[in-house]
Each structure stands twice: as structure tokens, then as C-alpha cells.
Structure 1
Amino acid sequence: MAQFPDTPSFTGFNTPSRIEADITDLQHTGTIPKELNGAFFRVQPDPIYPPMLGDDIAFNGDGNITRFHIHDGQVDFRQRYVKTAKYKAEKAAGRGLFGNYRNPLTDDPSTKGMIRSTANTNAWIYAGKLWAMKEDSPALVMDPVTMETEDFETFDGAMKSQTFTAHPKIDPVTGNMVAIGYAASGICSDDVSYMEVAPDGSLVREKWFKVPYYCMMHDFGITEDYLVLHIVPSVGSWDQLEQGKPAFMFDTTREVYLGIIPRRDDLKDEDIRWFKRDNCFASHVLNAWQEGSKVHFVVPEAKNNMFPFFPDIHGAPFNGPEAMSKLTRWTVDMASNGDEFDEVVQLTDTASEFPRIDDRFTGVKNRYGWSLEMDMARPCELKGGSAGGFLMNCLFLKDLETGAEQHWWCGSVSSLQEPCFVPRAKDAPEGDGWIVMVCNRLEDHRSDLLIFDALEIEKGPVATVQVPIRLRFGLHGNFARAEDIGLDTRVAEPA
């Protein structure tokens, strides 16, 4: 009998759901825009078996991908596990076989040599495939219509990196998918791979470089000429793993670096500029762009570590107030002779995370950004159901051009998951479209899909789609037009 731990990661709204399902024409209120024709994919960590070692962090669950197929004013639901090597091995054994997050030293001996991916961090669409991503391994590709798992993508062995990012970017000019792989030569190594994948799905570039120190490199930015990579001291080492400590721990004594890496076939380590600044925390990236000799990089920045499950390496207690992140613009000048930042500017007093833009403006100056706001002044009757334990209770829109802000509160017994922007048309102006996102109804133990007019979020959702099951906290997701993945020509019957 499966018995999950009686701990916050496995109880309440975070109780594993372990559901695969198909539901046609979900009930909804409001009006689902008829122009919306495609699918919103999102992924949740959702363990199929209790953790082998008695407890675990929520980020170590098996990837379970939800697809909301939006068409003809209705929404159809499909949810499938990603059939990773881990998933298959544990299904065959009937129990958990893998140990602590990112620590192979804690695994059952039978798993030696297996790719440890849980494929639980991003559901990404590119080259007609659904990519299930976890940054400690290659991505798994799936059929976006049937949602059946195919295989790990190594580009017929052309990719030498052992890892592939969970936050790729699409170059709006070339259409290439830009990616990194940190710990490219193995766990805790300071090797990073920079890769580009063409729209036909072929690997067209893979260059390696060294970073100032090994750490979690969860996200990055791109510009026309550069890959922009922030090095923030959520650090790891073999010593930590051997001592049974968390794979990452935050070091407040280390400097933060920003790497400006030329996107070139002849890239060498000496071509990279490393700028440095005082300690801070930053994980996700809103966007990056060039302006003359200057490179701008916008992130939610916090004074201290945001992840309580990756504790302070010196033993300091988690500091909640210092973990509140706010959109901040980092600027460096490539014409300078030094390694100092040119400017660091906080753009708002609103605390937020999970930033998203109109992805057609990746790598160029954008106007709008949406994210999940943490407004601790709002009433809160129930907690839980949010990534990392934070109360993400508002949708936040920031106009970077005028400074204007909009906020929409989901209520005292709900929390929100990452927003995703969907343009009204391929050539629509920036921000002209919708926001789709999941809302956790914490008291009812179920979820809703919310659809907003993207530039009028304060008016509330134009449609609320009721999901009769509970979707666990999710990480990242993306929308694909029906014609780009074959949903308009292939029948998506239950597999």
C-alpha cells in the first residue's frame, strides 16, 4: 500500500494526485474566445510512489503534463505522465528507487547508469514536438497530440552535453531554440554547454565554456548577439552530496556574476565577459536585450535565498522578508574596461516571481511583463498549493514603458500558477491577446483554468474553466497553436 509522508510536500493540496485522464468539454463560465485555437500545456511534479527515503522536497516529483485543448469555444482536458527511465523502472519495481533530489549517491543500486530525469519542470513546444524538460538531463520528447512519450532527445547522439535547460528561448529572427546545459560534463562540474536547435529539430551549434563556480543555472536570457547567464550562489558540491546535504545551498558570501557570451561558432572562454556584483538571489529571467554597447537583463531579484529547501550553507535560518523578489534591471556596458555592473535598478515595489512576456519579443526590448504577485497584505484563510510554499495570490502586469501596474487578486482561499501569454494572432501587437493560467481552489481541492484579456487583467477572467480534479502546484507551461502541432488535422482521441 502506498503511504506518503505526513509532511507539507505530500499533504493537503500537495497530496499526490497520480491521475491520468481525458475529459471532453469542461464546464465553464464566461466566454471562451473563439479565436483561441490550440493547446496550453503545463507540468506538475506528481510522485507516483512514496519517496524511497521517507520524505522529499516537492520539486522531486515525477512529471505529469496537463493539456488544455482550447477550440470552438470549449476546452478539452488530457493529462499524462512523462514515461521517463525513472518512471518505467519504478513502475516495474512497484516502489520508489531514486533517492534525494539530484543526489545519485542515495539511489537504489539497480538504477546505476540510468538518466535520473523526472521531466517535471517545463512543458515546451518546438519543432512539432512536446518537450518535457528537467535541467539535470536531456529533454524527453513527446507526441503533442497523443501525449505519448517517445525518447530522450540527444539529436542522434550529436549532443555531447549531459544536460539540457528547462528554460530554452526562441530567437525571433532565426527561429532557433537556444539552450544551455549546466554541469554539462557531469554532476557539480563547472562546464556549461551553449546549444542552438534549428526549427527542423536539428542541433546546429554546441559550444562549451567554464563558469566562475558551479551553481543552479535555472534560467538565462538571450539577445541578438549574446547569451546572458547569471551565476547566483545556490551552490553544490560532491562534498554536500556525500554528506547527505541538499544538492544546492545558498552562500551569502559569494559574489554574483553576469556572463555575456557571444553566440558564435568560434566561441572561446576568453571571448566571454564576466561582470560581477554584490550578493543577491535571482532565478527566473523576464527578458534581456541590447541597446548600443549596453546589455540589459531583467529578473525578479531578492536580497536573500528564495528556496527554504535549499538552506543557507552557513546555517543561517531562512529569511522570509528578504526572500521577496522584485523586478530589477541589471545593466552592463560592453564598452567598459572593468568588470563592474553599469547599473542595477529596481523597477517596482511589487513582490513577484514566475515572470512571463509576449515570447515573440524574446531578446529584444519589450514593454509588458506578467508574473505571480505575492501580496501579503491580502486576506489569506488557507495556505499551500504554491511552488516553494510562497503565497502567490495575485496576477501582476507591469508596463515597463510607462511604469503602470495592474493587479488581480484570486481570493483568500485560492492561489495561482504561472501565467502564459497567447497572442491574438501571429502578427498582433505586443500584449494583444490573452493570459491563460491555472488557479488552485485550495478549499475545494480542485482547480480552474482562467483566461484573461492580457492587457486588462484587473477586470478579471473572461472565462473560468472548471477542472473537476486537483492539479498540484505546477512549474512552467506554454501554448501552441493547433496548426503548429497537428491538432487541427489529427484526431486527439484518448490513447
Structure 2
Amino acid sequence: MAHQMGDTQPVNQLFPGLPQFSGFMKPCRVEGDVQKLEVQGVIPNNIDGTFYRVMPDPQLPPLAQDDPWFNGDGNISAFRIRNGSVSFQQRYVQTEKFSREREAGRALFGKYRNKFTDAMKFKIRSTANTNIVFFNGQLLALKEDSPPYALNPLTLETKGLYDFDGQLPSLTFTAHPKFDPESGEMLCFGYEAKGDGTPDVCYYTVSPDGKITEQVWLVAPEVAMIHDFAVTDNWVLFPLIPHLCDIERMKKGGEHWQWSPETPFYIGVIPRRGAKSSDVKWFCYRNSFPNHTSNAFENDEGQIVFDLGLSEKNVFFWWPDAKGQAPDPKEIHSNLVRFTIDPVNGTSDLHEPQVIQKNNTEFYRIDNRFSTKPYRHCFFDLMDPALGTNFTEIESRLGGGYPLYNALGHLDIETSETEVYYPGNTHMVQEPVFIPRSKSAGEGDGYVLALVNNYDTMLSELHLLDVRDFKSPLAVILLPLSLRPGLHGNWVDGKSY
């Protein structure tokens, strides 16, 4: 951009030459539509709906040169599948940040969740880049430090901030709301719910017609990250990641989060309905990193069974501890584990969890019709170097700043058997979604859909699998561009919007 006479501040036109902006992590920055994507194979006609996903995708070079990869603007992709054909649509969420930076032609937003490093003051400091869900006619783009942004599900046009018609009790809204498959209600929470550095957590539920019902305020034992949570028929669980916030550190230009190796892994448990703040019980386990949850339910003894990924190391290695120490990303390993918790009579110290999947796994997804209930099938990303990935050939193109997974897994919890889909020796996978074969199909009977990074072509692909024959794809849908690794997405049935 040419400077006008009198300009005193140079505009950075290049992204930093760092791994999180290189290779497949190079910002996409594309908005547009493509009809009739190329399809290798056959897409069954009973698949009718849209796969929405969001990626952090900075429209402009950042103020902070070493910006973490998920501080980018939320860019929504919609893959609409109908009659065996796929169309693609992509639009940025028009957040306050996005609009003001586009008008200025330069970055104004500072470090990740640190308002003290911004070049100007924002009313709502959101990138809307972490998840995208559909509820009560609204497509909601989520970032856990702010309210949702509502979008038109057909056009992806941004409608604006969404506060549930003025009902939103918290300043923040989770990136991982849960949905009760029977009642249709959405269960939500916000942490740092009264602002940056506050230990307050607000749990609330939303009826299918958009009315906020349950509301409980809690105080967490630490000002810690609570990225995901879990719900059963009668209980709600809040796993605290030992990344802690310190306002004074932020005021000095430091990071919002710092890993605390001395802090245990806490799980807060409250009744799902009619709870008071005094009802919360905090259970703890040794210092570790809770990843995304798979599911939670109650067994016949009334205990809570809670399945989630767990790592002994700091998975968010780009935020080290106070001594600047962080693990080598190649040494980070996460297992799918099962905690059994007695919410009424249990002691505060949790027993050693059962490992139910020993591979290095993450991004667990289930058949959502069995959310909050006993379940059998779990789908996920996994990393197994023994599968044959040609790291020597593709390493220079990987980019950096995020965990890598080279296969998709399907765990049958009842038999402990895992099926693996390996897309090829120059491919990495992103988060999968599950699509039921029909409304009446049994649990886990359907399809798995996931974006795949092809480091040979340097283009993205959608791989569609039939769970009945998990090791081979039904179809590979080819995209004419590369999509940065996204954070989360969801399948929405075509009859829903």
C-alpha cells in the first residue's frame, strides 16, 4: 500500500517468515464460491447437509511478529453436499477487529487475548475463529473470550454480535457448547466471565427457542483456561487446563497464558439443574493437560464416567512456563482416558484414569445423538509415524505451531478395537465429523468426513469414509486451494436450515 504524504507509520505488507505462517500454514485469505467440486469416487445420495468449519486465517500481517497460529481472523468454510455433489463457500466473519483492520489497511490487534498490546481500543475483542455451530436458526461463530457472532447459514453473511436478545449473562461464551439430543437445549458456560483475569465461571443453558434458563456462577480455584467441558443427564464438568492468566504480566506486554507445572488438573462438578454456587466440587489430579472431551455419562452406580484426551506435557507449547521451558512438540503424546468420579461421596483426589485408547490422539468426535449417554463409538485424529508418512519429503512444507496427525481412528469402546484410515504418505488430517446414515440408524452407523492436507499437491481435500468400511474412502473431494488447519467444525443436516 502506498503511503499518503504525511504518513508516519509504515505498513507491514509481509507475513513473518516463521513456521506458523509458512508451508500449509500460509494464510489462505480467500473469500468466494466454487460450484461442483471435483469428486473422486461416489458420494451417497442420502448425505444432504453442510459441513461448516472455521480456521484462524489472518487477513493482514500481525502486529506481534511471533503471533500464535490461532490468533488469526475467523474464516468460515461451508461444504454443501446434496445429490452426490459438493459446493464450497468461504467468508470471513466481519468482527469489529476484522472490519477496523480492513479499513485501516494494517493490523491493530495485538497479542493473543492481551488488550494492553492493541494499537487501539476494541469494544469486543474477538476473532470468532474457534468453532461454528448451528442453533435455533442461527449459525454462530465462537471464540471463548467473547459473545458469539451470528451468520446467515445460507450466505455466510455476518449479522453481528449475538447476545441471545440481551439475555447473555457472561462476558464470554464457550467455544464448545453441548447439545442435549433429547431436549434440544444448548448447554454453555463462560470462564473469565467477568473479564480478563477473573476466576469467575458462569454456567447457563438455552432452551431450543432461545431462552436462557439455568444460570449458576462459580469461582474457579485458579484463573485457568477451560477450553472444553462435558455434560451428563444430571451433571456438568469443567476441566481446568493449568495455563494461568496474570493481569500484571499482561500489562507488561506478556502473554495471557503461562503454563504452571505446579498446578494440578482440576475438574469442577455441579448438578446440571437447580445448582447453587456452593454446590460445586473441585476434584484434582496431578499436573497434566486435558485435551478435548469425547463424552460423559452416568453408570449404573450413579458415578460420572468422563472420557477425554490427557497429556502429561504442555500441549500449547508456544506458551511456556515461567522459566521459558516448553516441551518439544514431537514429545507431546495424548491418550484418550476415562475418569470415574463419584460426584456425591467421592474424595477430592481423583484415581488414576483408565487408558481406553493408547495412540497419540486428539479431536474426539462421537455420534452426537448419544451425547450425555453411554456410547460405544469414537472418531478422532491420530499420529502414528509407523504408518509410513514421508516426513523427510514433506517437512519443509508442514509449517508449524499446531499438532500434526496423519490418520483418522475409529474406536469401538466395547471391544477396544481401533480401525485406522491412513490417507497417504504425504497427507495430514484435520478434525473429523460424523454424519448418521439416517435418523433411525444405530449408533456409529454412518459416515466420517474430514479435511485432509495434501503436501504433495499443497492443496486441501475432503475425505469421506463409510464407517462400515473405514479403511478406504468412499470419495475424495478435491479443492482448488489450501485451507489452513482449522480448529473446529460441525455437520448440519439439510433439513435444519
TM exceeding 0.5: yes
User: Of 460, 477, 488, which residue of structure 2 is paired with 1:465?
Assistant: 477
Matches within 5 A, 1:20-99: 20-99=31-110
In structure 1, what residue type is equivalent to 2:41? G
- Is 2:22–2:399's contact at 8 Å kept on the other side of the alignment? no
Alpha-carbon distance, 1:412 to partner: 2.2
User: Of 396, 403, 407, which residue of structure 2 is paired with 1:390?
Assistant: 403
In structure 2, what residue type is equivalent to 1:332? I
Matches within 5 A, 1:316-395: 316-320=325-329, 322-336=331-345, 338-377=347-386, 378-379=388-389, 380=391, 381-383=393-395, 385=398, 388-395=401-408
Q: In the alignment, which residue of structure 2 is the partner of 1:490?
A: none
Q: In the alignment, which residue of structure 1 is the partner of 2:487?
A: 475
Measure the CA separation in 2 of the matches of 1:319 and 1:88: 37
Q: In the alignment, which residue of structure 2 is the partner of 1:245?
A: 254
Alpha-carbon distance, 1:94 to partner: 1.1
Measure the CA separation in 2 of the matches of 1:261 and 1:314: 35
Q: In the alignment, which residue of structure 2 is the partner of 1:211?
A: 220
Q: In the alignment, which residue of structure 2 is the partner of 1:289?
A: 297
- Is 1:86–1:114's contact at 8 Å kept on the other side of the alignment? no
Matches within 5 A, 1:215-294: 215-265=224-274, 267-291=275-299, 292-294=301-303
For 1:141, what is the secondary structure of its paired residue?
strand
In structure 1, what residue type is equivalent to 2:457? D
Say what the alpha-carbon RMSD is for the aligned residues.
1.5
Change (3 A) 1:391 1:23: same
Matches within 5 A, 1:98-247: 98-109=109-120, 112-247=121-256
Q: In the alignment, which residue of structure 2 is the partner of 1:491?
A: none
- Is 2:180–2:186's contact at 8 Å kept on the other side of the alignment? yes
Alpha-carbon distance, 1:451 to partner: 0.6
Alpha-carbon distance, 1:376 to partner: 2.5
Measure the CA separation in 2 of the matches of 1:337 and 1:7: 48
Change (3 A) 1:427 1:308: same
In structure 2, what residue type is equivalent to 1:73? G
**Bigger mean CA deviation after superposition, 380-389 or 272-281:** 380-389
Q: Does 1:431 align with 2:444?
A: yes
CA deviations over 1:182-235 (Å, ceiling 9, x no partner): 100001110011111111223223321111111111000000111111122111
For 1:417, what is the secondary structure of its paired residue?
strand
Q: In the alignment, which residue of structure 1 is the partner of 2:319?
A: 310
Alpha-carbon distance, 1:321 to partner: 5.6
In structure 2, what residue type is equivalent to 1:476? H
Change (3 A) 1:433 1:418: same
Measure the CA separation in 2 of the matches of 1:260 and 1:389: 30
Measure the CA separation in 2 of the matches of 1:477 and 1:272: 31
User: Of 425, 429, 439, which residue of structure 2 is paired with 1:412?
Assistant: 425
Measure the CA separation in 2 of the matches of 1:289 and 1:387: 36
- Is 2:291–2:311's contact at 8 Å kept on the other side of the alignment? no
Q: Does 1:402 align with 2:415?
A: yes
- Is 1:333–1:342's contact at 8 Å kept on the other side of the alignment? no
For 1:300, what is the secondary structure of its paired residue?
strand
**Bigger mean CA deviation after superposition, 171-180 or 337-346:** 337-346
- Is 1:386–1:473's contact at 8 Å kept on the other side of the alignment? no
Alpha-carbon distance, 1:455 to partner: 4.2
For 2:248, what is the secondary structure of its paired residue?
helix
Measure the CA separation in 2 of the matches of 1:308 and 1:35: 42
For 2:293, what is the secondary structure of its paired residue?
coil
Q: Does 1:17 align with 2:25?
A: no
Measure the CA separation in 1 of the matches of 2:82 and 2:178: 26
Measure the CA separation in 2 of the matches of 1:168 and 1:387: 28
- Is 2:249–2:255's contact at 8 Å kept on the other side of the alignment? yes
Measure the CA separation in 2 of the matches of 1:275 and 1:389: 29
- Is 2:149–2:160's contact at 8 Å kept on the other side of the alignment? yes
In structure 2, what residue type is equivalent to 1:157? G
Q: TM-score, normalised by structure 2?
A: 0.94
% identical equivalent positions: 39
- Is 1:450–1:465's contact at 8 Å kept on the other side of the alignment? yes
- Is 1:386–1:392's contact at 8 Å kept on the other side of the alignment? no
Alpha-carbon distance, 1:139 to partner: 0.7
Change (3 A) 1:45 1:337: closer
Alpha-carbon distance, 1:276 to partner: 1.3
In structure 2, what residue type is equivalent to 1:72? N
In structure 1, what residue type is equivalent to 2:325? A
Alpha-carbon distance, 1:160 to partner: 2.3
Change (3 A) 1:385 1:193: farther
Structure 1: gaps of 5 or more residues: 486-495
Alpha-carbon distance, 1:342 to partner: 4.3
Measure the CA separation in 1 of the matches of 2:61 and 2:150: 26
Alpha-carbon distance, 1:375 to partner: 1.1
Measure the CA separation in 2 of the matches of 1:341 and 1:54: 41
Alpha-carbon distance, 1:386 to partner: 7.8
Measure the CA separation in 2 of the matches of 1:30 and 1:403: 31
**Bigger mean CA deviation after superposition, 160-169 or 288-297:** 288-297
Measure the CA separation in 1 of the matches of 2:400 and 2:93: 20
Measure the CA separation in 1 of the matches of 2:399 and 2:135: 27
In structure 2, what residue type is equivalent to 1:414? H
Alpha-carbon distance, 1:390 to partner: 2.2
Change (3 A) 1:12 1:60: same
- Is 1:386–1:415's contact at 8 Å kept on the other side of the alignment? no
Alpha-carbon distance, 1:337 to partner: 5.0
Change (3 A) 1:250 1:397: same
Change (3 A) 1:128 1:305: same
Change (3 A) 1:262 1:322: farther
Aligned residues: 481
**Bigger mean CA deviation after superposition, 326-335 or 59-68:** 326-335
Alpha-carbon distance, 1:389 to partner: 2.9
